[in-house]
Amino acid sequence: MARLDLNIEGNVAVVTMDEADNKLNLEMVRSLLDLLDRVEKETGAFTVVVKSGHSHIWTNGFDIDWILANLEKGDKATVKEFLVLDLALRKRLLTYPLITIAALNGHCFGGGAVLSLCFDFRFMRLDRGFFCIPVIDRGYPILPGTRSLLNSKLPGHIVNELILTGKRMTGAECAAGHIVTAAYNNEELMDKVMEYSKGLNKGRGIVGEMKRVMHAHTIKLLEEDAVTIQEGQILV
């Protein structure tokens, strides 16, 4: 299992990702899903905060080296399993019955940036770190569910710039563009995140129901994307 630490601070569950660059692969996605289940079933938390144990990276996105290694040995099934499970993680966050907050205390790239948009709120480090979705340079298509997610969370002109140019946006730019709620220097980021989080004592039932309604269209498309990948219509 990937190295994830969980601490309960009052009504807030704080998750720390502490893998190398926190890259997304099958093990990391499974671990995140398992931990979300644990927080929901075994704690009384109302809010989940996910941060990085590294001072400069929240997540570098898909573990490309791991993906290529599996493809080189002909194991497309494992790569497909990962891509489908990654979509399941996005869906889980979009429907999670607790308020979710991503504390972006470092770079947030590619699939990791998309994952952060599945959280209800994002706070970002102001003095270091970029937000970037470089799919145009990777040559990986934007699937309908991902496009719907981006369009529901970000202003249209910013989606266009992120996707077509692969621009690296700073914390200040992300705050100005409403990608994140706010950006702070690193030494105050977590204090501000925790201050915000501890005020969100919202009932789990209504939170989950609100999210299911708010994100119904995106969730439907994510489910369809999973079928598309399983059927091999997306080359891996």
| pLDDT tens, position by position, 3-46 | 999 999 999 999 999 998 999 999 999 999 999 999 999 999 99
CB of 49 within 8 A of CB of 9?
no
Question: Sign of the CA dihedral 138, 130, 156, 114?
Answer: positive
Domain edges within the chain: 4-230
Which pLDDT value is given to residue 235? 55
Which pLDDT value is given to residue 115? 98
Which pLDDT value is given to residue 189? 96
Residue 114 sits at φ, ψ, to 5 deg, of -65, -45
- Supply 111's token pair: 């699939």
CATH of 4-230, one of 3.90.226.10, 3.30.9.10, 1.10.12.10, 3.90.1150.10: 3.90.226.10
| pLDDT tens, position by position, 99-120 | 999 999 999 999 999 999 999 9
Whole-model pTM over 0.85: yes
CA distances from 141 to 103, 138, 147 (A): 27, 9, 10
For the chain (236 residues), the mean pLDDT of every run of 10, in chain order, is: 92 95 96 97 97 93 95 94 97 98 96 97 94 88 94 94 94 96 95 95 94 98 95 67
